[in-house]
Structure 1
Amino acid sequence: MGRCRLCHAISLSMMILHCALALPVEDGSVPNNDAPFQLIVNPKLVNRFTTHNMTLLCEHNSNVQTRLDEIFRMRIVKKSETGWDMIAEQRDVVQNPSVNGNVRASANIKGDISTVFLQISWDTVGDASFGVFKCDVTGFDARANVVTESSPEFEIREFQNFIEHFENLSKETKMKVEELKNWTENEVYELKKDFHDIENSIATLQRNKTSCDCERRLSSVETLLGSLTQWPGGFYALLRPKTGCPVDLAFFGGSDSFHKIHSESQSSLDPGDLQSQAFSPLTSFRVGSDNFFYMQFCEITRQFNLTPWPLGSFCIHKLLHHPCPAPFTTGRVSIDTENTGFAGDARNNIADRVYDPTLTFCCQGNSSATGPIRLPTESPFLLYRYGDVCQDVRGMSVSEEFIRINTDDSGLVDDLYGVYPDLDRVGSSGIKFYLCYYTKL
């Protein structure tokens, strides 16, 4: 199903703990389709200071036919300023391979082409492990002509490849959203395990960050981790901004959730419905003599990981028939809709009914809003403000937004229960919710 890169990210996140990263340009497990010989590095993701027993293997590419009938020399060479320097060489006239530098080598160049190889190993990865390598294989063809065949050049680079790798992971996550509709439950289960391991690795990175001696590299990594982070576990919903629901597997299927509130439509001295720039202009609209306020939601209805929510100060929407995720506390706000000519509509798991709905919330104020938390940064999103200050999120800029609903002037009144987002009473009847809109830095 093409999930190998996500699996690689698990080990990659662990390697970040040691700060100095090196990644091969191409996936060493995939043979090059154009050359009869190939180089394979193991492990594929290499840490300069802590990875041990790194190997570079030259072997026949079974997908490409070779002209060689008999081999008398295999070499692994490394590009230098003056050309190509020999790192290891095996000749048919000697028993053991010769090497230059602090490497070990093993080889077999006799017998069937499918079994020949030359492998070098570094006990501890260092400067000599990085650069451009290739292998040359020389021998005779079926007519006893001398032939030399080479692998493609294979580069093992340091930190600059790390950013490219994470960007590819985030692009692949977007593709998975569309693929998901055709997945089996077993495939979904396997992906959930991948994400859970990734989240654990990221948490480990955060715990060990202060002990690292290369903060500059970690700060560069910091903004990229949000692209890999998944939305925390639990059943809940976010209010949908004009940019749409976050591109995340957890929100798949929840983007059509809405509540069309029939707001005060008769003559009123109170300010009318209004929304700020984070919302579509069609959020508040009028049809004939009726005013409506259209709330759209992004619901999480399938669980993809069990990562707990970070401690902070903000609110999200609660889903009916599901408890708030820890460490949130439940609250409700009842909206008094227009009594005359009711024409509301709804399809969501947040409000208990279409007429005079009660919106359910999950709020927490367990930590200062100025203490940055980690949430996914791949797509814009909205959180309800709680405690007069927008929560700081790593890798995201934030603007304060609002929605204002002019509720019915007569009959029932708007009611508040438990904990709920920051809001103001507007005039004699009306509610103004304060929200925080996050976009990637």
Structure 2
Amino acid sequence: MKIAMVGSGYVGLVSGACFADFGHDVVCIDKDRGKIDRLRDGIMPIYEPGLDKLVESNVATGRLTFSTDLADAIAGAHAIFIAVGTPSRRGDGHADLSFVYAVAEEIGAALTNDCVVVTKSTVPVGTGDEVERIIAASGCSHKVAVVSNPEFLREGAAIGDFKRPDRIVIGAEEDFGREVMSEVYRPLFLNESPILFTNRRTSELIKYAANAFLATKITFINEMADLCEKVGADVQDVSRGIGMDNRIGRKFLHAGPGYGGSCFPKDTLALLKTAEDYDSPTRIVEAVVKVNESRKRAMGRKVLDAIGGHDEARGKKVALLGLTFKPNTDDMRDSPSIAVAQTLTDAGVEVAAYDPEGMELAAPLMPDVIMCSDPYQAIESADAVAIVTEWDAFRALDLDRVKSLAEAPIMVDLRNIYRPDDMRDRGFEYHSIGRP
């Protein structure tokens, strides 16, 4: 099949490369000519493990190409995916759908054949209805089915998630859409990946409900971590104890500095706005958003407490290890490290930081933070070391070298990647999350 992927960012590029790897002919489209030129040269616009090789191999076979010309690229396509950004709209938190609707208008004006138009972007309930209306209003005379097909890709593990999904959700209103999408995903169906067919609005809501639920799990275990610190319990054992219950599950029960990234923050806000529009309050999600935002600053105060508190902080130095919202990505969107660093600099602390992939994107977000070439440069003369993102590179630091470089052997581990007993035995004053 011929597939057109409009939008060559994180979702579009990963999805397009994987579809090409399944044997489809895929063209990824983007208005950013510089991005398309770099992709043709094999330069990825994002960091995602394995993506460069996947793109390279499928470009070599001729199954994956790149274009800035939407009209030419969608000619003859059986399925056209809309995979453009839907950021939170300034001022009200609603998802900004202007890019989605602009693409729908372009598609409607350029169609030359019957096809399926698929919203891969994360969009609020009812967006597919508007996309359908826009295409119809363009005067298009071809048969078009508008389908919802949300993505469930984890940054850092996106290729595996796409090729071995827990489920594929397809929201379609007519048989034509379901038939084309079944053919698009036939390689996965043969591997017995479950496909859930729903109506379009249900599919759109599934994406938001899934992300809100995962954000709730993260926020819940973070609050349990705070309680553990008060009562002398161990949050990691609490996580294991409740996670072994199949009704709860083990995933997303790791205490830390709060969630960030491209999905959870904007999707929880968009869900709140949808619920507000339909007069159906989602008070649990509302609480999750508020608690998560306050937690990020609280983690900054936790680091301050480790160096003597706010009143003693001015003039001291803290090394931040890890800036991206999670490991194996360069994504800085709503990363907890931003609030942690701001809390420290507001208190007069000098902050030196290192991240394996995120410093280029982090630098403009943290103008007062010194970016270092490796973790040990950041640690030199530091009054405390704070681990904010659990990159593998930080799991086996040379602790003797850390002690010799740092001004004081204080570590604040916001990801619980070290054992408290081990750190005390090595002579560190060690602070972690939800552990005695």
**TM-score (ref. length: structure 2):** 0.22
Structure (1 or 2) with the greater strand fraction = 1
Of the two structures, which has the highest relative contact order with CA contacts closer than 8 Å and spacing of 6 or more? 1
Structure (1 or 2) with the greater helix fraction = 2
